[in-house]
Amino acid sequence: MAFTTTMLSWSSLEYGKRMGPELANARAAIRWATDYLLKCATATPGKLYVGVGDPNVDHKCWERPEDMDTSRTVYSVSASSPGSDVAGETAAALAAASMVFRKVDRKYSGLLLRTARKVFQFAMQYQGAYSDSLGSAVCPFYCSYSGYKDELLWGAAWMFRATNEMSYYKILKSMGADNQPDLFSWDNKYAGAHVLLSRRALLNNDKNFEQFEGAAENFMCRILPNSPYKTTQYTQGGLMYKLPESNLQYVTAITFLLTTYAKYMKSTKHTFNCGNLLVTPNSLLYVAKRQVDYILGENPIGMSYMVGFGPNFPKRIHHRGSSLPSLTSHPQAIGCDGGFQPFFYSANPNPNILTGAIVGGPNQNDGYPDQRSDYSHSEPATYITAAMVGPLSYFAGTLN
């Protein structure tokens, strides 16, 4: 949820001018999340609440949110059971959102930034992974596979962007830019931090940030399909293919970095090289637009992976509220097990259309079975959609 909020905030900061009337909707969505994150960070001194509900118990039920009757266990991190990863991301979300509200609600913006400072300080002071502190409450569902150093870098990058204070700059410099993976996701923030920090090098011509510019360009060289340093697979239909579980989360997040870095390059007429390949802003935008178009239906099976968009989209998504009848049509309660037969296992389309959701996406052969039980392909997630807002705004704004 925090990563979703950071990405929606980054989208609004970077592409707000292209969003038109949708900017107000983006702000409303961000505020819905930051109200919750503020509560998580301030309800109990010395604690950051990070989750509600035992995932192992909740996953066993297929019921509507209105009928939920599983215990609402609350999980938190603290000095004695640290969680630098979840705290670093929460600080990033609060800091990024503070900039979104700076001109429209100064008081709220100030509260977000003050809270971000405290949460980031906690992340730095008590270092450890929340997976180690909370165990089966977060694993294997949202285990911190990449560790927490990437969230400390990402958190510090957002704190620096929001405050311009030297203390955060020193943290960034001490962490460096040596970790250079070839993906970007809710779990692994290095590439996002490098692109965010490269903005300083490109737009402000600040030599102190050149190492992050270099790291961002190494990342692009590992993504571009015609780069000699490519480590990224593409399907026959042209989709970036990173991992079999919910692949589109990587596609939308990486596409966000492609359009954003291209935007920085364009404004300074910057180019770079991947070996003997000259990379221009349009090289990045071409790949980014190809990914966006694929997700929206330009693919071998003509399937839009955004629910409700286009003539052909996923009809049986892995989503409780979408797949179960509404209270209006079925006022009686549906218990924990009551939703499996006849709803979960039904071949019928979901009764409620979750408009705008993006699912996990096709398999590596560009196929999509559209089955509710096939959660690694048919499950939507807020962080898949949030990262798509930037690229969609960019291309919508370029078409006008």
Catalytic residue set: 318
Using CA atoms, how far residue 306 sits from 276, 353, 360, in Å, is: 37, 11, 10
Q: Please state, in angstroms and rounded to a whole number, the distance separating the CA atoms of residues 306 and 400.
A: 22
Task: Considering only CA atoms, give the Rg of the chain.
Answer: 21
Q: Please state, in angstroms and rounded to a whole number, the distance separating the CA atoms of residues 134 and 77.
A: 8
- Per DSSP, the residues of 177-237 read S----S---SS--HHHHHHHHHHHHHHS--GGGHHHHHHHHHHHHHH-TT-TT---EE-TT
The answer to whether 216 touches 256, Cβ cutoff 8 Å, is: no
Cis peptide before 281 (omega within 30 of 0): no
The answer to whether 5 touches 86, Cβ cutoff 8 Å, is: no
Both tokens of 331, joined, read 């006022």
- Per DSSP, the residues of 327-360 read TTT--S---TTTTIIIIIT--SPPSS--TT-B-S
- Cβ atoms within 10 A of the Cβ of 66, count? 11
Place of tokens 């409780």: 320
